[in-house]
C-alpha cells in the first residue's frame, strides 16, 4: 500500500458506528478538520457529547443503503458484519475510500499509528495485518523521541523559506544538512531548537556553502569510548554503554566483559578479544593501547569494553593517556564496579549505619609487592567500622589474611570470598578472616573473585535474596525476541541470553562466556538454529521444549537431555517446572 497524507479540512466524512472504535475514528477526523457525520442507533456518551457541542452531526439510526456515496471518506465500526460489508460495498461502488475496523480485506485504506510532535508526524503501518504490533511500536517510538521535537520541526519550517530566499538551489541541501547535523542527536533521538545566532551564521555563509559533489562518504574522525561493562550481569550494563556498543565500528573487549556483549551486536562490528586471565596475558597492555590508537586513527568509532569500571583497577587511565598522546578523541563511560555490586548480590551491604561507615577498595596484589606495598594493612586492620574490598584476591588471599592478622585484626573478624559475583555462576564462601584462606581453597574458589572483610559480612545470612530465587544458577539461552518469558525467567533468578537468529558473532561469544544450563526451544526452527552451538555447551544443557514436535526435532539433532514442558498454563508453570528440574515432565 502507498502511504499518503490526506487534507480533510472542510471535507464531509462518515463514521458508521458510535462505539469505542467509532469515537476514536470521529475524534481523529475532527482533529484533521473534517466535517464529520456519525450514524449510530445507540451512540456512546462521548459521541453524544461531541454532537451536543456542535463538533459533529449525529444521526441516531441504522445505516441506510447507498448513503456512503455522499462522503469523501468512510469509516465503519459496528458489531454487525453485514452492515460493515454493506458500507464497504457501497463505498466501493461509489469510488469512495473506506475503512472497516478489524477487517483488512474489506478496507481500501488503513490509518497508520502515529507518533506526533507538533507538525511532525511519524506514521507506522502493517497493511492492516498486525495492528497490535503497530500500536506497541508506536508506544516504543513515543517513549524514545525525547527532546522538543515539536519546537524543532517548527524551527525547521521557519528555516526552509529563509534558505530558499537566500541560497541558490545547488546550495540548499548543504544548508539543510547543516541544520539537521547541528540539532539532532541520532544516538539518543533527541532534538534541540537552534539559537537565532546559529541560524544567522549559517545563512550569512550561504554563499560559501558549495553543493555536495557525489564522492565516497568522508571518513569521520575516530573516537574511542572506554566503557565499563559492569560486574558480569548483562542487566547492569548502562544505557549509554549499550548505545555506544550498538553504534560502534569495533569493540575491543576483555574476557570478563564477554557475558555482557549485546548478542544483537551488528555483525558488521569488528570484534577484538584481548582477554586476560590470572598469570596469563596473551595480549600485553602495551599492545592493547596500540590497538586502540590504531583503530582510532583509522577513523573508527571504538568501544574498549572492560569489566567493572574502566578507572577502578581497570588500567583505563593508561589507555586514556596513550589515546591523548596520539591525538585520538576519547571518552569514559563509567560502569558498575564489582566492589559494590558483588557484595550486594551476596547479601553484604558495604556500608551500614553504626557498623561500616567507610569503604576501602584495594587490589590484593599489593600484599605481595617485594618493593613495599602502597596499602597500609596495619591501619586497615585496626578499623572495625570499615569494609575492605580487595580485587583479584584468589592468588593473594593467604598473604592478605596474614597481613591483616599481623596488623592486629581480630582473627574472628567476618570475611567472605565472592566468585563471579552478580552472575549465574556466583559462589560465596564466608568464614572468619583467619579461616577464610583454607575455606576458599577447600571450596575451589577461582578467579575472578573478590575478598570482602568487614562487620557487615554477617548480613549475608539474611540478605542474600539474589541466590534464594528458585532459578538462581540457571543460565538459559532462547531465541529473540523473548517477550514476556524473559521477564518471568529473570524474576525467578535465571540469567537469560536472548540471542538473535541466525546467531551473530557476538551472540556466539556470549553463549560460551559462562556455562549454560538450558536452552528454551519454542519451535523446531529454534532447535535447528542452536544445533551447531550445542556440542560446545556440554551434556548438562537441558533442551526445554514447548511442544512434542520441537522435542522430537531436538532429539533428532542430538540434544542429550530433552524435556517437554508446556507453557499452556502460563510462564509461571514453566518456571515452576524448571525449578523442579525434570520432575513431573517427560525426559526422554
Report the CATH number that the domain containing residue 433 is assigned in CATH. Answer: 3.30.950.10
- Asked if residue 553 is part of any domain, the answer here is yes
pLDDT for 583 equals 39
Number of other CB atoms surrounding residue 239 within 10 Å: 9
Domain boundary among 433, 464, 495: 464
For residue 218, being part of any structural domain is answered with no
Residue 171 falls inside a structural domain: yes
What is the span of the domain harbouring residue 302? 224-335
- How distant, in Å, are the alpha carbons of 309, 472, 541, 548 from that of 476? 26, 11, 9, 20
Report CA Rg, the chain.
32
Between CA 520 and CA 540 the distance in angstroms is 14
- CATH no. for residue 497? 3.40.50.10090
Residues 345 and 453 in one domain: yes
Same domain, 496 and 510: yes
Contacts of 165 (CB under 8 A, 6+ apart): none
Task: Report yes or no on 213 lying in a domain.
Answer: no
The torsion of the CA quartet 27, 29, 32, 33, rounded to 10 degrees, works out to -100
How many domains is the chain built from? 6
Of the candidates 500, 512, 441, which has an alpha carbon nearest to the alpha carbon of residue 475? 512
With respect to residue 470, please indicate whether it lies within any of the assigned structural domains. Answer: no
- 97 lies in some domain: yes
The verdict on 292 and 236 lying in the same domain is: yes
Q: Does 577 lie in the same domain as 512?
A: yes
521 and 554 in contact (C-beta within 8 Å)?
Answer: yes
CA angle, 518 then 524 then 529, to 5° = 65
Cell of 468: 534464594
Catalytic residue, chosen from 276, 322, 398, 587, is 276
pLDDT along the chain (588 residues), means of 10: 85 94 92 93 92 93 92 93 94 93 88 83 81 80 74 88 78 83 78 82 65 52 93 95 94 96 92 74 86 94 96 95 94 96 97 95 84 86 95 95 95 97 96 97 96 97 93 94 88 94 92 94 91 86 92 91 79 82 43
For residue 212, give every residue at least 6 positions away whose Cβ sits within 8 Å of its Cβ, in sequence order, or none: 173, 174, 177
> Within 13 Å, how many C-alpha atoms sit on residue 184's CB side?
16
Write down the pTM of the prediction: 0.65
**H or E element: which one contains 38?**
strand 35-39
* Same domain as 504, residue 568: yes
Domain boundary among 414, 434, 464: 464
Q: Does residue 202 share a domain with residue 229?
A: no
Q: What are phi and psi of 225, to 5 degrees?
A: -105, 120
Q: Cell numbers at residue 425, please?
A: 555462576
d(CA 266, CA 500): 10
| Cell, residue 364 | 590484593
SS3 content of the chain, % helix, strand, coil (to 5): 40, 20, 40
Residue length of the chain: 588
Distance CA 373, CA 361 (A): 14
To the query of whether residue 210 is one of the catalytic residues in this protein, the response is no
Position 586 scores a pLDDT of 38
276 is catalytic: yes
* Same domain for 494 and 396: no
Cell numbers given for 276: 586476560
Please say whether the beta carbons of 545 and 563 come within 8 A.
yes
pLDDT value of position 588: 33
Q: Indicate if 286 and 182 belong to the same structural domain.
A: no
Residue 561, all three cell numbers: 537431555
DSSP string computed for 204-256: HTGGGPPPPPP-SPPPPPPEEEEEE-BSS-GGGS-HHHHHHHHT-SEEEE-GG
For position 316, which CATH number holds? 3.40.1010.10
Q: How many Å apart are CA 308 and CA 395, to the nearest integer?
A: 20
Residue 30 domain-assigned (yes or no): yes
Q: Is the CB of residue 509 less than 8 Å from the CB of residue 271?
A: yes
Indicate which CATH number applies to the domain containing 91: 3.40.50.720
The whole-number pLDDT of residue 311 equals: 96
SS3 462: helix
Catalytic entry in 90, 233, 254, 309: 254
pLDDT at 585: 41
Considering the domain architecture, whether residues 431 and 547 belong to the same structural domain is answered as no
Report d(CA 484, CA 475) in Å as an integer: 17
pLDDT given for residue 540 in this prediction = 86
Q: Are 96 and 74 in contact (CB under 8 A)?
A: yes
- Find the Cα–Cα–Cα–Cα dihedral 452, 454, 458, 462, rounded to 10°: -70
Closest residue by Cα to residue 373 from 350, 402, 394: 402
State the Cα–Cα distance between residues 488 and 10, nearest whole angstrom.
51
Q: Is residue 1 part of a domain?
A: no
Amino acid at each position: 500500500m502507498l502511504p499518503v497524507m490526506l487534507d480533510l479540512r472542510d471535507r464531509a466524512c462518515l463514521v458508521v458506528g458510535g462505539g469505542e472504535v467509532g469515537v476514536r475514528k470521529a475524534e481523529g477526523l475532527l482533529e484533521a478538520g473534517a466535517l464529520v457525520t456519525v450514524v449510530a442507533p445507540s451512540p456512546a456518551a462521548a459521541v453524544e457529547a461531541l454532537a451536543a457541542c456542535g463538533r459533529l452531526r449525529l444521526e441516531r439510526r441504522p445505516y441506510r443503503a447507498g448513503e456512503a456515496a455522499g462522503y469523501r471518506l468512510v469509516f465503519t465500526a459496528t458489531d454487525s458484519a453485514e452492515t460493515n460489508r454493506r458500507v464497504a460495498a457501497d463505498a466501493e461502488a461509489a469510488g469512495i475510500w473506506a475503512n472497516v475496523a478489524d477487517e483488512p480485506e474489506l478496507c481500501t485504506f488503513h490509518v497508520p499509528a502515529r507518533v506526533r510532535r507538533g507538525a511532525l508526524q511519524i506514521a507506522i503501518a502493517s497493511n492492516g495485518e498486525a495492528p497490535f504490533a503497530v500500536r506497541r511500536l508506536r508506544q516504543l517510538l513515543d517513549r524514545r523521541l525525547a527532546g522538543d521535537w515539536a519546537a524543532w520541526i517548527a524551527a525547521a519550517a521557519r528555516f526552509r523559506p529563509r534558505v530558499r530566499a537566500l541560497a541558490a538551489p545547488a546550495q540548499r541541501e548543504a544548508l539543510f544538512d547543516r541544520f539537521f547535523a547541528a540539532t539532532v542527536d541520532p544516538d539518543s533521538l533527541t532534538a534541540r531548537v537552534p539559537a537565532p545566532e546559529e541560524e544567522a551564521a549559517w545563512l550569512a555563509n550561504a554563499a560559501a556553502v558549495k553543493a555536495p559533489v557525489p564522492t565516497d562518504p568522508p571518513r569521520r574522525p575516530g573516537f574511542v569510548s572506554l566503557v565499563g561493562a559492569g560486574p558480569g550481569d548483562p542487566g547492569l550494563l548502562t544505557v549509554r554503554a549499550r548505545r555506544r556498543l550498538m553504534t560502534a565500528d569495533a569493540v575491543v573487549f576483555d574476557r570478563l566483559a564477554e557475558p555482557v556483549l549485546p548478542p544483537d551486536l551488528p555483525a558488521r562490528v569488528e570484534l577484538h578479544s584481548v582477554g586476560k586471565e590470572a598469570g596469563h596475558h596473551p595480549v600485553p597492555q602495551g599492545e592493547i593501547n596500540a590497538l586502540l590508537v590504531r583503530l582510532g586513527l583509522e577513523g573508527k568509532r571504538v568501544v574498549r569494553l572492560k569489566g567493572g569500571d574502566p578507572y577502578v583497577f581497570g588500567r583505563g587511565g593508561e589507555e586514556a593517556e596513550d589515546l591523548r598522546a596520539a591525538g585520538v578523541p576519547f571518552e569514559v563511560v563509567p560502569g558498575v564496579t564489582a566492589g559494590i555490586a558483588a557484595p550486594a548480590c551476596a547479601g553484604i551491604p558495604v556500608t551500614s549505619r553504626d557498623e561500616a561507615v567507610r569503604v576501602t577498595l584495594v587490589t590484593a596484589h599489593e600484599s605481595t609487592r617485594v618493593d613495599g606495598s602502597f596499602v597500609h594493612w596495619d591501619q586497615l586492620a585496626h578499623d572495625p567500622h570499615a569494609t575492605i574490598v580487595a580485587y583479584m584476591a584468589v592468588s593473594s588471599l593467604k598473604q592478605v589474611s596474614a597481613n591483616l592478622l599481623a596488623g592486629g585484626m581480630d582473627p574472628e573478624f567476618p570475611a567472605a570470598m565472592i566468585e563471579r559475583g552478580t552472575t549465574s555462576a556466583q559462589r560465596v564462601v564466608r568464614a572468619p578472616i583467619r579461616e577464610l584462606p583454607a575455606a576458599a581453597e577447600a571450596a575451589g574458589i577461582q578467579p575472578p573473585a573478590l575478598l570482602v572483610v568487614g562487620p557487615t559480612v554477617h548480613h549475608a545470612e539474611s540478605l542474600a535474596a539474589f541466590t534464594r530465587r528458585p532459578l538462581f544458577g540457571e543460565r538459559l539461552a532462547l531465541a529473540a525476541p523473548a517477550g514476556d518469558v524473559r521477564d518471568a525467567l529473570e524474576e525467578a533468578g535465571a540469567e537469560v541470553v536472548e540471542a538473535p537468529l541466525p546467531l551473530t558473532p557476538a551472540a556466539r561469544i556470549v553463549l560460551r562466556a559462562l556455562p549454560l544450563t538450558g536452552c528454551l526451544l519454542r519451535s523446531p526452527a529454534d532447535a535447528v538454529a542452536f544445533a551447531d552451538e550445542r556440542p560446545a555447551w556440554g551434556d548438562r544443557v537441558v533442551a526445554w521444549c514447548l511442544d512434542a514436535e520441537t522435542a522430537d526435532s531436538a532429539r533428532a539433532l542430538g540434544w542429550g537431555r530433552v524435556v517437554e514442558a508446556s507453557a499452556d498454563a502460563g510462564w509461571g508453570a514453566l518456571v515452576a517446572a524448571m525449578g523442579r528440574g525434570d520432575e513431573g515432565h517427560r525426559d526422554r
